[in-house]
Amino acid sequence: MTELLTTIISATFFFAVIRTTVPLLLAALGGLLAELSGALNVALEGMMLSAALTAVIVSASYPWWIGLLAGVLAGMALGAVMALFHLRFGADVVLVGFAINLMAAGGTVFILAQATGGDRGTSLALPSKSIPRLSLSWLGAIPGVGGTLEAALSGHSYLTWATVILVAGIWFMLYQTATGLRLRAVGEYAPAAAAAGISPDQMRALGLILSGALAALGGVQLAMFNYIGFTRDMTAGRGFIALGAVLLGARRPGGVAIAALLFGAFEALAIVLPALYTSIPGELIHSIPFVVTLVALVIYARRAQLLTRRRVAGVEGAT
Amino acid sequence: MDAPFALEMRDISKRYPGGTLANADVSLDVAAAGVHAIVGENGAGKSTLMKILYGIEQPDSGAILLDGTPVQISSPARAIALGIGMVFQHFSLVPSLSVAENVVLGAEPRRGLVLDLPAALRSVGELAERFGLPVDPAATVGTIPVGQQQRVEILKALYRNAQILILDEPTAVLTPQEVAELFTAIRGLVARGRTVLFIAHKLPEVLAISDAITVMRGGRVVGNLRTADATAEELTRLMVGRDVSLQVARTSHAVGPVVCAIEGVSANNSAQLPAVNDVSFVVRSGEILGIAAVEGNGQSELLEVLSGLRQPTAGRITLGAEDVTGWSVRHLRQAGVASIPEDRLARGLAAEATIAENMVAERIDRPPLVNRGILDWSAIRRAATELVNAYGVRTSSVQVPVDTLSGGNMQKVVIARELSSQPKLLLAAQPTRGIDIGATEFVWQSLIQARNRGAAIILTSADLTELLALADRIIVLSKGRLVAAFPDPANLTPEDLGTYMLGAREQPAAERAMAS
């Protein structure tokens, strides 16, 4: 037990939590925008996966940032495809989302094999690049806590820090700009927005395309920082956990960030635990993040029920 | 011709793809700074005409002139730009946003990139004050009463500088007090030079608020009147095309023994909050007991309890001599309870099933419609055809899906089925909601006939004139409690009921108990 505690309460573990959280958080922010516009994006998983492979292949021949941009474009393209089929052709958004997930799962393996000349599992054959680390070694000069701070915060990718800015930026966009107001209005009650001269389809397309871009950033971080290179099915359900974080975070950017951090912490735990408890099967430990997601969602649903009840009671009391 | 009209519509025709001629050569002259009412039954073409004016629909032919200038109204955005605003019957509001956010949505004040919320709050507050539409700009729309939500809708139009305001059945959702406030606000708008188009089918309100009235029937204009010269009888005749009597003769009739007694019944709503609180009353054979209540004050839950759809949390219900508390819908039906539910399409009918299937749904578990477990379709069709003829349902066949019928005809199917079982107790929840005057007349007569045959009827209605016309006794619910009971409604007015419905007054317990 003491071993576990010393492992968890350490700068290294904190570093690991940030590392596992960032891809989840980016995808969850994407899920948030789509959800608020009223189009549930279950394709986060497929978008992450497609963007990860795109970034790996492109960065093998171009600078890292072009790889990153290519990944983002791939995610946005998938978002646009969802918008096209859902909004223009009237297909169910969840079905379109699952179609994209299935396509991405199979399609990435196929393209991987084409790109590597036959390897269906990993991109080891490709000299793909990584996102540079931001060194904050000057933190170490701070007396006392300097060493800990440096170990926890120095050496994350540029994208990690960009993610922090994105959380604030998305909050600003949603609550301080007209576009955000319109997006939320469309998601909550589209006829009201339509009556005010706003096109619900346009706002949802925007939501889905931005959602694709953010999920893609999550995939890029995964394949160009957390791991270097692409492995088949490397997202491993993160897109769905991200969707859970959207709901658990009460559909607000700050809440989503906290929920993603929680899931990230359990994922990090699942990485360190097998070394400490060799008697417990690794598969069981690796299922922890999913079990936590499930439990968290059940708690969330219960809480939402109670809140609705209280709100209804409040309204009835007011009239 | 002197000063041009604020709005002229010239020979507007519109045929829907299905072939329905919704508007045929409709012309309309609306004077500036007045209230112009458009009345007609459902399907008379009022809504289509207003949709054309608001740019939602395009006319096949005809012209629209604003202040004498011809205009093309290609979309709602264009209508707004031309100074036309519309308040729909179903509000277009986002519940979780504030009043100010709802008002400015789509035309937000900005400071650079940033949404200028303080400016929005300020201008909406000023607008509300200037036009006498008091509402807190910072309040969350979902938490304010319906009457105030309607003000927010009107403010939305005014914020976009509407000169012509279309109000589509604005009083349908309001209490009598809220209607009075709305009328004050409308007069204020007119005094400030705005023109109001008032779409309605409740004639007393039309006569109270309008300056001029256009009557439509079957897609055509059948009359243009000055309100000062119009009477309700004349308007009704024009709307329906024949004489209609919505006067119910209060014939003396025998009131029999108690059919159903409700003692101390409480029940929760779907959110598990108390909705009905310790209510007691009886209803006798041969009488209609009216329940007056503002929507959401427990009347729906109470009727659901009585029909077996909802379990009471306390109290006792007896039917005849039997304690039926907690009985299932099916057992209650077998014991003689019939129900005309509030929501025809969700609970009264299986929308996609045929008329015949709906007509017999209540009795296909027994002969003669079923034979050793096999449905006897020819018997079913015969039984359904009989009912269709007896209740005058307008349809070509009993084999068509019931949702192809008009609202009034759907309601006739429900009533035919429910009354054909000769119920002892009939629960009628909002039986004329959303149906036209002709069908309303039929529903009223059916209820009166059932009562005269000896049925006990419990009637709820959002339309107080309906309660006052039909009910032999009226009880009032407010926040789930029985707050007043009137053994003889003959001299009651809607305003009397209104004060009790809003919970502003309450009868002494003894008086209530005696009358209920």
Q: Do B113 and A177 touch (CB under 8 A)?
A: yes
Q: Is B446 exposed, middle or buried (0-12, 13-18, 19+ CB in 10 A)?
A: buried
- CB of B121 less than 8 A from some CB of A: no
Residue keyed to tokens 């604005």: B170
Boundary (domain end) residue, out of B422, B446, B480: B422
3-class secondary structure, A125: coil
Does residue B328 share a domain with residue B211? no
Angle ∠(A56,A58,A63) on CA atoms, nearest 5:
100
Distance in Å, alpha carbon of A126 to nearest chain B alpha carbon:
43
A277: in domain: no
Q: Does A143 touch chain B (CB under 8 A)?
A: no
Domain that holds residue B472: 257-336+424-516
| Window from A176-180, A244-248, B116-120, B247-251 with minimum mean pLDDT | B247-251
CA distance B8 to B29: 5
pLDDT band at A144 (very low <50, low <70, confident <90, very high): confident
Q: Given strand B21-30, what is the order of strands in its sheet?
A: B21-30, B7-15, B61-66, B69-71
- Residue of A189, A305, A308, A310 best to disrupt the B interface, most CBs of B under 10 A: A189
pLDDT for res B423: 92
Angle at the Cα of A187 from the Cα atoms of B143 and A308, rounded to 5 degrees: 40
Among the three residues B422, B446, B470, which one is the final residue of a domain in this structure? B422
Say if residue B198 is in the same domain as residue B303. no
Cβ separation A195–B92 shorter than 8 A = yes
Residue B270 forms contact with A (CB below 8 Å): no
Instruction: Choose among B88, B101, B21, B90: nearest CA to B56.
Output: B88
Whether A245 is covered by a domain: the verdict is no
Q: Does B51 touch chain A (CB under 8 A)?
A: no
Structure tokens at B129: 């004050």
Q: Report how far residue B144's alpha carbon sits from residue A25's, in angstroms, rounded to the nearest whole number.
A: 36
* Burial classification of residue B34, based on how many CB atoms lie within 10 Å of its CB (0-12 exposed, 13-18 middle, 19 or more buried): middle
Assigned domain for B245 exists: no
Same structural domain, B81 and B219: yes
Chain B, nearest residue to A319 by Cα = B145
- Residue B199 pairs in a beta bridge with B38, B168
A301 phi and psi angles, rounded to 5 deg: -60, -40
Residue B144 counted as domain residue = yes
Measured from the Cβ of residue B329, the count of other Cβ atoms closer than 10 Å reads: 13
Q: Which residues of B touch A177 (CB under 8 A)?
A: 113-115
**A319–B contact, CB cutoff 8 A:** yes
Q: Taking the mean position of all CA atoms in its chain, how far away is CA A246?
A: 10
CB B295 within 8 A of CB B345: no
Q: How far apart are CA B337 and CA B457, in angstroms?
A: 10
Q: Establish if B247 belongs to a structural domain.
A: no
Within 13 Å, how many C-alpha atoms sit on residue A119's CB side? Answer: 12
Collapse the DSSP code of B226 into the 3-class scheme (helix H, G, I; strand E, B; otherwise coil) and give the result: strand
Q: Does B183 touch chain A (CB under 8 A)?
A: no
Residue of B nearest to A178 (CA): B115
Looking at the DSSP bridge assignments, the partners of residue B476 are B292, B484
In B336-383 the beta strands, taken as DSSP E runs, fall at 337-340, 370-371, 374-375
Buried b (16+ CB within 10 A) or exposed e, A81-107: bbbebbbeeeeebeebbebbbebbbee
Q: Is B219 among the domain residues?
A: yes
pLDDT at residue A319, as a whole number? 36
Inter-chain contact A309–B108, Cβ cutoff 8 Å? no
At B362 the pLDDT is 83
**Inside any domain, residue B249:** no
Chain A residues lying within 8 Å of B113, measured CB to CB: 177
CATH number, domain containing residue B513? 3.40.50.300
Q: Band of the pLDDT at A104, cuts 50, 70, 90?
A: very high
* Distances, alpha carbon B35 to alpha carbons B6, B48, B182, in Å: 12, 19, 13
Q: Give the pairing of strands B212-217 and B35-39.
A: parallel
Comparing B250 with A115, the larger pLDDT belongs to A115
Smallest CA–CA distance, residue B481 to chain A, in Å, is 14
Handedness of CA A259, A260, A261, A267 (dihedral sign): positive
Instruction: Decide if B51 is inside a domain.
Output: yes
pLDDT at B246: 64
Does B77 reach chain A within 8 Å, measured CB to CB? yes
Strand partners of residue B28: B9
The number of domains in chain B is 3
| Measured distance between the N- and C-terminal CA atoms of chain B, rounded to whole angstroms | 62
pLDDT for the residue B120: 95
Q: Is residue B461, in this structure, part of any structural domain at all?
A: yes
Q: What is the DSSP letter of B247?
A: P
Q: A223-236 b/e with 16+ CB inside 10 Å = b?
A: bbbbbbbbbbebbb
- Best mutation target among A177, A312, A319 (most B Cβ atoms within 10 Å) is A319
The reply to whether B388 and B448 lie within a common domain is no
The beta-carbon neighbor of A313 closest among B97, B145, B273 is: B273
Residue B342 lies in a domain: no
Does residue A41 sit within a domain?
Answer: yes
Same domain (yes/no): B107, B194: yes
Is residue B483 a contact partner of residue B298, using CB atoms and an 8 Å limit? no
pLDDT at A225: 95
Q: Which residues contact A187 (CB under 8 A, 6 or more apart)?
A: A35, A36, A37, A38, A39, A203, A207
Kindly provide the b/e burial profile for residues B483-502, where b requires at least 16 CB atoms within 10 angstroms of the residue's own CB: bbbbeebeebebebbbebbb
Q: Are residues B413 and B461 in the same domain?
A: no
Amino acid at A145: V
Q: What is the CA angle A258-A153-A240, rounded to 5? A: 35
Collapse the DSSP code of A184 into the 3-class scheme (helix H, G, I; strand E, B; otherwise coil) and give the result.
helix
Q: How confident is the model at residue A283 (pLDDT cuts 50, 70, 90)?
A: confident
Q: Which of B245, B282, B291 is nearest to B489 (CA)?
A: B291
What is the spatial distance between Cα A194 and Cα A82, in angstroms, rounded to a whole number? 21
Per-residue pLDDT reduced to its tens digit, A149-160: 898 999 999 999
- Integer Cα distance of B147 and B181 in angstroms: 9
Residue B510 tokens, joined:
């003894």
Contact with chain A for residue B107, Cβ under 8 A:
yes
Query: Which chain B residues have a beta carbon less than 8 Å from that of A198?
Result: 105-106
Which parts of chain B sit beneath pLDDT 70? Answer: 1-3, 18-19, 244-253, 514
Q: How far is it, in rounded angstroms, from Cα B321 to Cα A77? A: 71
Checking DSSP bridges between strand B164-168 and strand B84-87, what pairing results, if any? parallel
Which of B50, B92, B136 best probes binding to A when mutated, by most A CB atoms within 10 angstroms? B92
CB A264 within 8 A of CB A21: yes
Rounded CA gap, A24 and A163, in Å? 11
Mean per-residue pLDDT, A59-72:
96
Tell me the CB-side half-sphere exposure of residue A219, using CA atoms within 13 A: 42
C-alpha–C-alpha distance, residues B449 and B39, integer Å: 29
Residue of A nearest to B81 (CA): A197
Contact call for A178 and B273, based on CB within 8 A: no
Are the C-beta atoms of B337 and B319 separated by less than 8 Å?
A: yes
Point out the domain boundary residue: B373, B388, B422.
B422
Q: What average pLDDT does chain A have?
A: 90
Main-chain phi, psi angles of B454, to 5 degrees: 115, 5
Residue of A nearest to B88 (CA): A195
Measure in Å the smallest separation between the Cα of B263 and chain A Cα atoms. Answer: 25
- Count of A–B CB contacts within 8 Å? 73
User: Least CB-CB distance to A178: which of B102, B110, B156?
Assistant: B110
**Length, in residues, of chain B:** 516
Contact B204, B180 (CB under 8 A): no
pLDDT tens-digit series, residues B393-406: 887 788 888 888 87
| Residue A178 with chain B: CB contacts under 8 Å | 108, 110, 115
- Please report whether residue A280 resides in a domain: no
Facing residue for B97 by CB, picked from A185, A191, A308: A185
Q: CB under 8 Å to B93, separation ≥6 — which residues?
A: A189, A192, B102, B141, B149, B152, B153
Chain A residues within an 8 Å CB radius of B272: 309
Does residue B67 sit in helix, strand or coil? coil
B183 CB neighbour count, 10 Å cutoff: 17
Total domains in chain A come to 1
Q: What is the pLDDT of residue B249?
A: 62
A315 touches chain B (CB under 8 A): yes
Query: Does residue A12 lie within any of the structural domains?
Result: yes
3-state secondary structure of B223: strand
**pLDDT of A316 above 50:** no
Gap between the Cα atoms of B484 and A141, Å rounded: 79
Task: Give domain status of residue A309, yes or no.
Answer: no
Q: How confident is the model at residue A2 (pLDDT cuts 50, 70, 90)?
A: confident
Do residues B44 and B152 both lie within one domain? yes
B-chain residues within 8 Å CB-CB of A309? 271-273
pLDDT digits (tens, 9 = 90+) for A24-60: 999 999 999 999 999 999 999 999 999 999 999 999 9
Q: Distance between CA B423 and CA B458 in Å, rounded?
A: 12
CB-based contact, B118 to chain A, within 8 Å: no
Residues B388 and B471 both lie in one domain: no
HSE (side-chain half, CA atoms, 13 Å) at B164? 23
Q: Are residues B39 and B154 in the same domain?
A: yes
Gap from A178 CA to chain B (nearest CA, Å): 5
Residue-range definition of the domain harbouring residue A36: 2-132+145-235
CA distance B397 to B429: 28
User: Which chain A residues are Cβ-neighbours of B143 within 8 angstroms?
Assistant: 314-315, 318
Q: What is the mean pLDDT of residues A298-303?
A: 80
Same domain, B99 and B212: yes
Report the alpha-carbon distance of residue B154 to residue B179 in Å, rounded: 14
Q: Is A302's Cβ below 8 Å from some Cβ in B?
A: no
The answer to whether the Cβ–Cβ distance between B94 and A313 falls below 8 Å is no
Specify if A267 maps to a domain: no
Does the beta carbon of A308 lie under 8 angstroms from any beta carbon of chain B?
A: yes
Residue A295 domain flag: no
Give the H or E element holding residue B448.
Answer: helix B437-452
Q: Give me the mean pLDDT over the A184-197 stretch.
A: 90
Q: How confident is the model at residue A317 (pLDDT cuts 50, 70, 90)?
A: very low
